[in-house]
């Protein structure tokens, strides 16, 4: 009985670690480095006939050049609304449209801006690590309750603590690698 319960706690713990990593990955993609990335406008919401709709569900988004993102709307009548939504999203670029497509031209990053982006990356990474540590604390608290109830032994508790810690260490290592790749991307000229 208790082994199923332990497995459920461990499975939930692994899912929480993975969710934290996935969220960090999504956030890091939103940080623009040296080149334009079409995913930077994915979260932009456009008022599409009274319904807020993600831009990527109403347009083709591409990066034909390293510093340019082109948004080709399927419904050309929505170009003005999409331009306003991109402007309101505060992406650091002003959209320009020619009546058919919207172009976002990203300026070359200055050294100062690169340093600011590095700080943003470090904050996101630290937040992800804290989330992972909180997940570890939560699962260990559940195991301590089981130990207190007499459902698991001291040896079993030690084994579970080591297993949970190893999973956390592996995830922190993975997060650190993501951080190094993003920092390299940002500092690349």
Task: Supply the range of the domain harboring residue 88.
Answer: 38-105
Q: Percent of the chain at pLDDT above 70?
A: 96
Q: Are residues 116 and 173 in the same domain?
A: yes
Same domain membership, residue 143 and residue 161:
yes
Whether the full predicted model's pTM is greater than 0.75, yes or no, is no
Question: Does one domain contain both 150 and 168?
Answer: yes
**Core vs surface per residue 142-160: b (16+ CB within 10 A) or e:** bbeebeeeeebeeebeeeb
Dump pLDDT digits (tens) for 128-176. Answer: 999 999 999 999 999 998 888 888 888 888 999 999 999 999 999 999 9
Q: Which of 64, 90, 105 is the last residue of a domain?
A: 105
Contact in structure between 108 and 92 (CB atoms under 8 Å) = no
Boundary (domain end) residue, out of 46, 73, 105: 105
Domain count, the chain: 2
pLDDT at 40: 78
**What tokens were used for 122?**
């470090």
Torsion of CA 144, 147, 151, 152, to 10 degrees: 100
- Quote the pLDDT of residue 32: 66
- 47 has which bridge partners? 52
Residues 183 and 121 in one domain: yes
């Amino acid at each position: 009985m208790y082994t199923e319960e332990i497995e459920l706690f461990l499975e939930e713990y692994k899912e929480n670690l993975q969710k934290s990593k996935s969220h960090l990955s999504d956030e890091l993609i939103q940080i623009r480095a040296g080149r334009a990335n079409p995913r930077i406008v994915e979260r932009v919401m456009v008022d599409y006939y009274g319904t807020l709709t993600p831009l990527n569900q109403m347009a083709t988004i591409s990066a034909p050049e390293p510093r340019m993102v082109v948004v080709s709307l399927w419904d050309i009548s929505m170009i003005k609304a999409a331009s306003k939504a991109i402007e309101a999203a505060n992406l650091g670029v002003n959209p320009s449209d020619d009546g058919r497509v919207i172009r976002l031209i990203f300026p070359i990053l200055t050294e100062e801006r690169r340093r600011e982006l590095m700080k943003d990356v470090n904050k996101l990474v630290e937040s992800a690590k804290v989330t992972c540590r909180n997940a570890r604390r939560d699962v260990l608290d559940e195991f301590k309750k089981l130990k207190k109830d007499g459902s698991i032994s001291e040896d079993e508790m030690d084994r579970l603590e080591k297993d949970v810690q190893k999973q956390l260490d592996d995830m922190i290592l993975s997060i650190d690698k993501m951080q190094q790749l993003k920092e390299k991307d940002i500092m690349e000229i």
